[in-house]
Structure 1
Amino acid sequence: MYVYYKKDAGRYFGKAEFIRYVKKKTLKTIQKYNMLRFDDKIAVAVSGGKDSVALLYIIDEIEREFPTEIVIVHVDEGIANYSDKSEPIIAKHAKILGYKVCQAKFKDLFGFTIDDVAKYYSEGKMNLEPCSICGEWRRWALNKLARDSGATVLATAHTLDDFAQTVLMNVIRNSLDRLLRLAITRERVVEGFVPRVYPFIELYEKETALYTHLLELDHNDIPCPYAQLSMRWDIRLFLYQQEEKHPGTLYNILRFYQDLLRTAPEQSIELKKCEICNYPTTDNICRAHKLVRMLKSLS
């Protein structure tokens, strides 16, 4: 009995074959982009959702043969009936696998929750949608947790879908500098940043979702209540339509980005340290804390 049809390859998979395919594809991606090293301490970002739980179990299986240390890092965004559902799930998986969990709350780090941010947005006090602020804070918080844990690399569960959406978002926003900073490999080392890798970058989101379902891995399946407010949501729907009509669209965006990196001149950006948190930044204050200042001015 087949459980999956890979349209861009014209291939059917049975359950056992599909599970092997996802694991093998992840391992090949790690090797292709030199994502992990023999003696890394890996911080795995686990939100509690389907993708991050799948990544945690696959990395656990891959790294069993190596002297690798793994730690789970988790950020609580402060979204009612959403964020709180993830913590017991993460604690359960951490106990099963025997890993330590390092976690932090937006409220403790920045003084605001995403529910607070959404309230300001709904009241018309600001134009930035909650997802924009959440994404900036999440990057800052995950880097801090990874650094504080002593990790040498941070693995996140971004899929091919996520990456293609990010590329297109930066094109629409004319953010070439941000686009060129989307590192797939860990070759470019920047002091203050833990190198970030994406082992699922060549897997579709529907593939990681099916993997989680077939293995019956407990996860938080409640969608974020604010996701539909973002530009990413609209781009996501557009790319789904294009992938359905033109299989391979998402892979082509990834290849386009790789070609762009090869032809673009190497960027030389002088980084300072944030006056508030010492986070690497091109300005005197990092983006995360500029957002905090803005929100405080609205309070």
Structure 2
Amino acid sequence: MKCDNCGVREAEVFQPHTGKRLCRDCFLSDVQERVAREAKKLGVTSVSRVLIAVSGGKDSLVLADTLSKVMDPSKLIAFNIVEGIQGYNREDQVKELYHYLRDLGIELISTSFKTSVGYSLDEMVSSSRARGLNIAACTFCGGFRRKLINQAGRDVKADLVATGHNLDDEAQTIIINLLRGDVRKLMRVGESPLKLSDKFVMRVKPLRKIYEWETTMYAFLKGFKFQEVECPYISARPTMRAKVRDLMYALEEKSPGFLLRLVENFDRIGEEVRRESKLTTLPTCKMCGEPTSFGREYCKNCELLISAGLRPVSS
């Protein structure tokens, strides 16, 4: 069967949300063009420096590849974090990432939880469990990843931080925050970057309209070598996100395009709510000096270390 776009080459990929059958080249071009449109809409292509968070997974590789095609790669700086998970973070993966980014003309800088926080993720989880606390590894990991990425963005004087969150991630975040009734976090989701502190580098998600299966297929067709093994902490203890993901995949299968419509509709609603709301500057943590939520003396990250017995309150 011929490609529905070019009508010349054989179709290799079926897009359920468009009903099109595309050849390899037209599929890759389609993803690149959609990322380029989103990147321009988010202001990524008009700034001087962008920090891109890269894990070595398929999404971050697709992010680096597509952005390098719409802007000068010298304006991109990649940032990698080794969380410190036994059997999961491997040195050879970081080397592979370095060589790939070097070929694109993108500089790579990196750190680890152990270096920047003082403890690996395994050590944080182990210490919290020893105290009988039921804190998920993802709670530690997500908070400290965001903190270190933001710090790196400030250090390199980046105008924006770009992450590899795809459409599935974005839709799941919307549903999770709805289930939790977290209006403030819901207001942070959307196309327009939101900045509630001078210490924040605005974050953007150029892949937020690209399905996860599309980033997987893109990476496969481009021959990328990426980490395919799921984090052992997620496998051992499924999070709310994992449960929401399964539900949303079922809805998408029954109604192709559901996730895309969800995000696009929320964008329109979210923008109206944000225009009518008065958002004030966030306070700062009395321990580390980073932004924290309203009503908190300490940021969530410092609270976690205090609870796990890894940081005294008086420090």
Instruction: Please say whether Structure 1 and Structure 2 have the same fold, judged by a TM-score greater than 0.5.
Output: yes
**Structure 2 CA distance for partners of 1:159 and 1:74, relative to 1, 3 Å:** same
Farther-moved stretch of structure 1 (271-280 vs 171-180): 271-280
Match status 1:171 vs 2:182: no
Looking at structure 1, the residues matched to 195 and 45 of structure 2 have their Cα atoms a distance apart, in angstroms, of 15
Deviations for 1:91-150, whole angstroms, at most 9, x for unmatched residues?
112322233222221122223222234435666822221112211111111101111111
> How far 1:227 sits from its partner (Å)?
1.9
Percent identity, aligned pairs only?
Answer: 26
Farther-moved stretch of structure 1 (82-91 vs 142-151): 82-91
Larger radius of gyration between Structure 1 and Structure 2: 2
Point out which structure has higher relative CO (alpha carbons under 8 A, 6+ apart).
1
> How far 1:40 sits from its partner (Å)?
2.1
Question: What is the 5 A alignment of 1:32-181?
Answer: 33-64=41-72, 69-85=75-91, 86-119=93-126, 125-181=132-188
User: Contact between 2:54 and 2:79, CA under 8 Å: does it hold in 1?
Assistant: yes
> How far 1:39 sits from its partner (Å)?
3.7
**Aligned letter for 2:53?**
A
Query: How many pairs does the alignment contain?
Result: 296
Looking at structure 1, the residues matched to 208 and 165 of structure 2 have their Cα atoms a distance apart, in angstroms, of 6
**Aligned letter for 1:193?**
F
> How far 1:57 sits from its partner (Å)?
1.2
Match status 1:261 vs 2:273: no
Looking at structure 1, the residues matched to 287 and 110 of structure 2 have their Cα atoms a distance apart, in angstroms, of 21
User: Contact between 1:110 and 1:292, CA under 8 Å: does it hold in 2?
Assistant: no
Match status 1:246 vs 2:259: no
Q: Equivalent of 2:28, from 6, 19, 22?
A: 19
User: Contact between 1:80 and 1:115, CA under 8 Å: does it hold in 2?
Assistant: yes
User: Contact between 2:196 and 2:279, CA under 8 Å: does it hold in 1?
Assistant: no
> How far 1:211 sits from its partner (Å)?
0.5
User: Which secondary structure state, in structure 1, belongs to the residue aligned with residue 94 of structure 2?
Assistant: helix
TM-score normalised by L of structure 2: 0.87
Looking at structure 2, the residues matched to 128 and 179 of structure 1 have their Cα atoms a distance apart, in angstroms, of 23
Looking at structure 2, the residues matched to 4 and 122 of structure 1 have their Cα atoms a distance apart, in angstroms, of 45
What is the Cα-based RMSD across aligned positions, in Å?
A: 2.2
Structure 2: where are the runs of 5+ without partners? Answer: 1-9
Find runs of 4+ consecutive structure 1 residues off by over 4 angstroms.
120-124
Q: Equivalent of 1:218, from 212, 215, 225?
A: 225
**Structure 2 CA distance for partners of 1:23 and 1:92, relative to 1, 3 Å:** same
**Structure 2 CA distance for partners of 1:173 and 1:39, relative to 1, 3 Å:** closer
TM-score normalised by L of structure 1: 0.91
Looking at structure 1, the residues matched to 51 and 310 of structure 2 have their Cα atoms a distance apart, in angstroms, of 34
User: Which secondary structure state, in structure 2, belongs to the residue aligned with residue 273 of structure 1?
Assistant: coil
| Counterpart residue number, 1:293 | 306
Farther-moved stretch of structure 1 (112-121 vs 223-232): 112-121
Structure 1: where are the runs of 5+ without partners? Answer: none
